[in-house]
Copies of this chain bind each other. A is one copy, B any other.
Amino acid sequence: MKIAYDGTAYHGWQVQPNAITIQETLQEGIKKILQKDIGVTGCSRTDAGVHAKEFYCHLDCDDNIPKEAFLRGLNSVLPNDISVMDAKVVPSDFHARYSAKGKNYIYNFYYGVTNPFLDRYALRLDREIDLDVTNEFCKSLIGKYDFYGFSSSGRSVEDTVRTVTDCKIYLKDDFVRFDISANGFLYNMVRIIVGTALGVSYGRLETDVAKKVFETKDRSLAGQTVPPNGLFLNKVFY
């Protein structure tokens, strides 16, 4: 299933006690349609408040429902901030997470007074970003590196080496957009990288700070973790 969601009201993707999550809401919707409990496996564990323009998940079931009826039925029982955009039958060895070859995240900023229509999807800044300086920092991330120092202690993996295939910052409609693609991302990696980019842009951190974080694996050399509302899982590559 290809889904999209506005994550503002949710405590992230993954089911957890005492908090409403996307996974749980989706599973409850599927239960209403198929009349049974079916677990849904997501491509990623987005954090509380993070959005997804494109998110994939898989489920195992032997029901035979026409796609259009399944989409229409499921969307009719889901809240309007979660939408199932498409669905298809995949080979049984397909795995939403492990079959993914890479992902693209974007992070939005805007300037000026609080804008009620942008603030849900972007971080407001009082000071303009220096796009040239920040793009220098972005370029220094491209390649295969150990991103341990760009992740939080909640990380769940042993291997912290990732390959960033593209990273840039540019103007896009009402926003300044940070755009990063990699073969995989560690816990809080994008939000720490974006916070580091801000630190570089504002002169609090050196343009070559990434090199030092890669070498030392020292989280404290990187920037702050930015809030989740500006972050979107934008594309997943299979």
Contacts and interface: CB of A to CB of B under 8 A. Distances in A.
Interface stretch (A79-87, A138-146, A200-208): A79-87
Interface in A25-61: 51, 53
How many copies of this chain are found per oligomer? 2
B117 A121 contact: yes
A17 interface: no
Contacts of A75: 113-114
A119 B81 contact: yes
A4 interface: yes
A120 B119 CA distance: 14
Contacts of A13: none
A233 to B, nearest CB: 13
A99 interface: no
B5 A82 contact: no
Interface of A: 4-6, 51, 53, 71, 75, 78, 80-85, 113-117, 119-121
Name the 9 nearest CB pairs between A and B, nearest first: A83-B114, A6-B116, A80-B119, A81-B116, A5-B116, A83-B116, A75-B114, A4-B116, A80-B114
19 contacts: A4-B115, A4-B117, A5-B116, A6-B116, A51-B116, A51-B117, A53-B117, A71-B113, A75-B113, A78-B114, A80-B114, A80-B116, A80-B119, A80-B120, A83-B114, A83-B115, A83-B119, A84-B113, A117-B121
